[in-house]
Amino acid sequence: MTGSRLPISPVLITPPLLVILALGLAPLTIVVVWSFWSWDPSTYWIKPDLSLTGYAGILEAGRWTVIISTLVKAFGTALLCLLIAYPTAYAVHFLAGKRLSILLLALITIPFFTSYLIRSFSWRLVLGRTGVLNTWLQDLGIIGAPLDWLLFSNFAVVVGLVASHLPFATFPLLLSMRRVDPTFLAAAQDLGAGFWKSLTSILLPLTMSGIFAGFLFVFVMVVGSSTEVQMLGGAGASIVSVMINDVMRVANYPLAFAISTIVLIVIFGLVLIGNRVFGLASLFEDQSP
Amino acid sequence: MTKHSRPFSPRAHSNVQRRDFLKLMGAGGIALSAGGLGFASRLAAQDAATVAFWATATLDIGDKWPEFAKQAGVTPEFTDNGNDLGPVIARLAAGNANDLFDIGGFQGGAEKELARQGVIIPWDTAKIPNYESLWQWAKDIPYLKHDGKQYGIPAVVNADSIIYRPDKLGKIDSYGAIFDPKLKGRVAMEDAWINSAIFTAMYLKESENQPIADPGNLSESELGLVMEFLIKHKSDGQFRTFWNGWEQGVQLVADQEVDAMTGWEPIVYEGRKRGLQVEYAAPVEGYEGWGNNMVLLKGAGDRGVADTAHKFVDGLLGGFYGCELGQARGYLVPTDNNGVYAKAHPDEYKPGEVEKLAEHVKAKFAGKIYWQNARPDNFQLYEEWWQKLRNA
């Protein structure tokens, strides 16, 4: 059955487009343009130019390695979040009753009751030398001395990142699962398919847009994060936003804008590829009969 | 750069909110009464003696500003500038800070640059009677003058060194402890090149006889020497972490993550409150002196409130402010006026404690001091080296 759609009026679409342009594209365009300007010490600001100094700076002092390591952290965190979020979303949507489902959804939002800072800081109390985990392991006789690597390490950073961003993977998956026609799964069962067959043949393909959306949300947020690294990382641990803050403090604006531009290119590329391959847009399509 | 911000305390925050609410109710009542009695013009006149004070939270005395205003005759409108000089300078040079604020309270070192940019104007110390009460070594802090003009006036000073656990390490009197391989993984430094670089430079200069002229303003080659030293130690796993902010600093000590770290003295006091044996070292290499200095923003001159700004600064040095800040944070306004005020108001501030704080800080400055410089000449190179350290 094909439903009719309301005609789109150019007049009606203009305001939201203007908002998107003003709040989204315009600032990003400015950042890109300014990344080619040069620093003018006489005015303590940048001046119009067509300079690659900012981009060249990325190749100095190992800054490019921070970009790479940030992308790796983001990728790894996003994958881990998906591995945890997918069964969580499945349980909430398919296994829990309506009332329990609401309760579980509420529980998933608990991390947002506190600030990023408090969330990250609290992990120090869990992972530290005198923290809960080390104390527990020593009390059980499993270890004889605290495990230093639990805190101020990449391990701690990843733990903090996953804990902070897990809800952003869970909700898109829930959304995509709710769009799966339950009769498909029922038909699969009727035809003798087991759980894993149903999962891999039907549910995973149909929720691929949610998987990618969850991945993308976490990836983008981790790329822009800083708190977990600053709170839980080792000596001088860095991530893109920490690096940008560092260069902004010393008025190296072209470099800061160049770093931002590189990151923007990566993220936009990821969005375009993902939409083409995984159909991200389908997550938001109207499928009403 | 150092962030000497107010310690976070949920209870204090709650109390502050409650007090603010009560003051608001009271102020509302007073306003209604004054209006009804025809005192509106007087209130308007009183409001004219106001300055917009843009400073680090270290300089804030919260609900004591009304009392300050009563004594000094100037009401400050305090705004926390975040104590990060990068954005502050940018906002002054290319933003709207000069349109909004009259006086800045910044970490020392940027005065020269700000003066060159024309965003601050010199003080006329003749209009600040209490200026003469400042201790001479405070007046002599580098960076306060540029081209013979007084651009900075020290409002708060202290000197930093090493926080350590004497019950674990015995007495520490050298920054060498921070770099001692025997303490590998048990030490920390601040995630701020302006502090960690100078501490390291002091150690290398004084204890290893390295050719460093001014640890607070390193040349290109000196900076390379210092940072290569730090990079080597970081790569060797010397540092447990680089801490960032008050809460992190306190927690590192309180949770026994480190046994020694360069840092701020208030962390010692906080550690003791938590039942730990914590001391502040008196290193043979000296202390890192720092000041939060008052600068007169160009906008104040443009708006014709420069005289009011001078009056405000005079009030800061008048004694009450120093007593309050000393009691609240343990920091010192470098003038004997604090003691005079305490003796005149013993019910408000204990003269003995005020004197004790003064003597404590004076003792630090009686020895070797190297001054923190938030804006060294090669400041962008400092950041580049710090990236190399991060990525090592």
Q: Which candidate from B117, B242, B388 shows the least CB-CB separation from A62?
A: B388
Mean pLDDT along residues A41-65? 88
Q: CB distance from A48 to chain B under 8 Å?
A: no
Q: Which candidate from A61, A66, A125 shows the least CB-CB separation from B384?
A: A61
Closest CA to A115 of A221, A237, A227: A227
- What is the C-alpha separation between A131 and B134, in angstroms, rounded? 47
Mutation site for B-interface testing, chosen from A249, A252, A255 by largest number of B Cβ within 10 Å: A249
Q: How far is CA A195 from the centre of its chain?
A: 29
Other C-beta atoms closer than 10 Å to the C-beta of B195 total 22
Q: Contact A44/B240, CB-based, under 8 Å?
A: no
Q: So what's the pLDDT on residue A287? A: 60
The answer, yes or no, to whether residue A242 has pLDDT greater than 50, is yes
ipTM over 0.90: no
CA distance A256 to chain B (A): 12
Q: CB distance from A70 to chain B under 8 Å?
A: no
CA distance B380 to chain A (A): 6
- What is the C-alpha separation between B245 and B251, in angstroms, rounded? 10
Other C-beta atoms closer than 10 Å to the C-beta of B352 total 11
Closest CA to B294 of B159, B141, B161, B148: B141
Q: Contact A121/B251, CB-based, under 8 Å?
A: yes
Q: Contact B380/A44, CB-based, under 8 Å?
A: no
Q: Contact A45/B94, CB-based, under 8 Å?
A: yes
**Residues 6 or more apart in contact with residue B235 via CB below 8 angstroms:** B392
Report which of residues B176 and A267 the model is more confident about: B176
Give chain A's length. Answer: 289
Q: So what's the pLDDT on residue B43? A: 35
With tokens 């910044």, the residue in question is B106
- What is the C-alpha separation between B41 and B32, in angstroms, rounded? 13
**Residues 6 or more apart in contact with residue B181 via CB below 8 angstroms:** B236, B238
Other C-beta atoms closer than 10 Å to the C-beta of B275 total 8
**Pairing state of beta strands B260-263 and B239-243?**
unpaired
Q: Contact A236/B191, CB-based, under 8 Å?
A: yes
pLDDT mean by block of 10 residues, chain B; 392 residues: 38 32 38 37 49 93 94 95 85 90 94 92 96 94 92 95 95 96 95 94 96 95 97 96 88 92 91 92 95 95 95 96 91 95 95 94 93 92 94 89
Q: CB distance from A209 to chain B under 8 Å?
A: no
CA distance A40 to chain B (A): 11
Task: Report chain A's mean pLDDT, rounded to a whole number.
Answer: 88
Helices B65-72 and B306-316 pack at an angle, to 10 degrees, of 110
For residue A237, the chain B residues in CB contact (below 8 A) are 241-242, 390
Q: Contact A62/B380, CB-based, under 8 Å?
A: no
B62-75 CB burial, b ≥16 within 10 A, e <16: eebbeebbeebebb
Highest mean predicted confidence (pLDDT) among A101-110, A247-256, B310-319? B310-319
- Give φ, ψ of A173 to 5 degrees: -65, -40
Q: So what's the pLDDT on residue B370? A: 95
For residue A149, the chain B residues in CB contact (below 8 A) are none
For the ranges A22-31, A42-51, A152-161, the lowest mean pLDDT is seen at A42-51
Q: Contact B384/A234, CB-based, under 8 Å?
A: no
Residue A22: DSSP 8-state: I
Mean pLDDT along residues A4-12? 73
Check if the beta carbon of residue A41 is closer than 8 Å to that of residue B377. no
Other C-beta atoms closer than 10 Å to the C-beta of A91 total 13
Q: Which candidate from B86, B248, B390 shows the least CB-CB separation from A250?
A: B86
For residue A151, the chain B residues in CB contact (below 8 A) are 257
Check if the beta carbon of residue A151 is closer than 8 Å to that of residue A69. no
* B 233-292: CB under 8 A from A: 234, 238-242, 244, 247-248, 251, 255-257
* A 231-260: CB under 8 A from B: 231, 233-238, 242-243, 246-252
Helices B193-207 and B220-235 pack at an angle, to 10 degrees, of 100
Work out how many CB contacts closer than 8 A connect A with B.
Answer: 107
Q: So what's the pLDDT on residue B5? A: 40
